[in-house]
Amino acid sequence: MPFGLFSKVRTATFSIAGLAVVWAAAASTVGCSHPQPAAVSAQARVPTVVRSKAAFSRGDRRSARRGRAQELQLLPSPSGNLLDNDLDEADRPQMNNGLCPPEMASIDDRYCIDRYEASLVEILPNGDERPWSPFEAIDHNTVTARLPNVRAVSVQGSIPQAYLSEVQAKAACTRSGKRLCKAPEWKRACMGPSHTTYPYGSHVEAGKCNDHGRAPVPVIFGIEANHPRTYSAHMNDPQLNRLSGTVATTGSHAGCTNDYGVYDMVGNVHEWVDDPEGTFLGGYYLDTHQLGDGCNYRTPGHDIYYHDYSTGFRCCADVAQ
């Protein structure tokens, strides 16, 4: 994890009592995330597994879209540009041509997005599924090259998955017949039909989203862990998101939504988007301002294989034909 910007904030004078707050700002400036779950027991609520039947094939649609590109109704994006202009021609969603599965919200009938941040279930060799711990990295302590076969589910009331990379998030979406969201799609869904900075409005409102949590590393590992050389060694420790006052269950902040019916797009955990350069959006439970406000929060430049306790995701999909 890059700590190049750490020195810019390290010179600040602060008390022991204010350490967690200052470190949260420092970590955000560095472009790293640090998430935690709200008071969670060892049996943190895990998603009720319902296998989605909405497997959205894209191959045939891509060629059809190229022939109809000029006929598509262009949809203004929150930035004032056209959403279609922000996407590759073959990826441009179509207008009013289908429905979304129940766990996903329809964004103007053009594409679907998970209502809640993703959890994972593991697909066993016999086809059965079991919940994957939201506190464990997928590649944690893996002895062989074989990684767990996991897929994404979107369920209210569960601890969202963190500790995973963009590559792993994309694979988990694909196994559920979905895909990782493009950045313009994610941002439009976050801003809602009214194109506001926060899902709920134009100005920040304390407590609407999970954006004022505890800094878990110094709490669990002590003040000495605040040094960047030691801090990075703890970034994927399962204890971090088990600490109360960190990650919240999906949908528990009822006001952190908009008229599209998507939840927790600001705060809670960072959310990876489909970007070969590595980008996650939305901030997390310690910060939704340092790298942009609310839906404009953007952390770029991480390797697509990077993960820590703050990096989560949700999936998108094309509307059904």
- Is it the case that residue 15 has pLDDT exceeding 60? no
pLDDT score at 279 = 98
Instruction: Copy the structure tokens of residue 122.
Output: 């593991």
Which of the two residues, 142 and 264, has the higher pLDDT score? 264
Instruction: Copy the structure tokens of residue 307.
Output: 């993960």
pLDDT score at 161 = 98
pLDDT score at 320 = 74
DSSP single-letter state for residue 263: B
Closest CA to 148 of 122, 125, 126, 174: 122
- Is it the case that residue 253 has pLDDT exceeding 60? yes
Distance of CA 37 to the CA centre of its chain: 14
Instruction: Copy the structure tokens of residue 137.
Output: 């990295």
Q: For residue 40, give the 3-state DSSP assignment.
A: coil
- pLDDT category at 66 given cuts 50, 70, 90 is very low
Share of the chain above pLDDT 90, in %: 60
pLDDT score at 44 = 40
Which of the two residues, 32 and 150, has the higher pLDDT score? 150
pLDDT score at 59 = 40
- pLDDT category at 80 given cuts 50, 70, 90 is very low
Closest CA to 216 of 255, 156, 162: 162
CATH number of residue 187's parent domain: 3.90.1580
What is the average pLDDT across 133-148?
75
- pLDDT category at 246 given cuts 50, 70, 90 is very high
CB 285 within 8 A of CB 211: yes
Tens digit of each residue's pLDDT (9 = 90 or more) over 111-123: 999 999 999 999 9
Q: Helical H runs in the chain?
A: 6-10, 19-30, 59-68, 166-174, 183-191, 216-221, 228-231
Instruction: Copy the structure tokens of residue 47.
Output: 């998603």
Which of the two residues, 36 and 220, has the higher pLDDT score? 220
pLDDT score at 231 = 82
Of 1-5, 141-145, 207-211, highest mean pLDDT: 207-211
Of 13-17, 47-51, 63-67, 148-152, highest mean pLDDT: 148-152
pLDDT score at 53 = 33
Separation between Cα atoms, residue 17 and residue 120, nearest integer Å: 36
Task: Kindly report the pTM of this predicted structure.
Answer: 0.71
CB 1 within 8 A of CB 263: no
Based on the structure, what is the number of domains in the chain? 1
Strand pairing partners for 311? 270
Domain carrying residue 206 = 1-321
CB 118 within 8 A of CB 145: no
Distance of CA 234 to the CA centre of its chain: 20
Whole-Å CA distances, 59 to 75, 137, 173: 23, 32, 17
Tens digit of each residue's pLDDT (9 = 90 or more) over 268-291: 999 999 999 999 999 999 999 999
pLDDT score at 223 = 78
- pLDDT category at 72 given cuts 50, 70, 90 is very low
pLDDT score at 140 = 66
What is the average pLDDT across 93-118?
84
Mean pLDDT of the chain: 77
pLDDT score at 228 = 74
Cα angle at 208 between 206 and 210, to 5 degrees?
90
CB 309 within 8 A of CB 268: no
What is the average pLDDT across 140-165?
84
- Is it the case that residue 77 has pLDDT exceeding 50? no
pLDDT score at 281 = 98
Whole-Å CA distances, 11 to 5, 7, 224, 286, 303: 11, 7, 16, 21, 27
pLDDT score at 147 = 75
Which of the two residues, 37 and 316, has the higher pLDDT score? 316
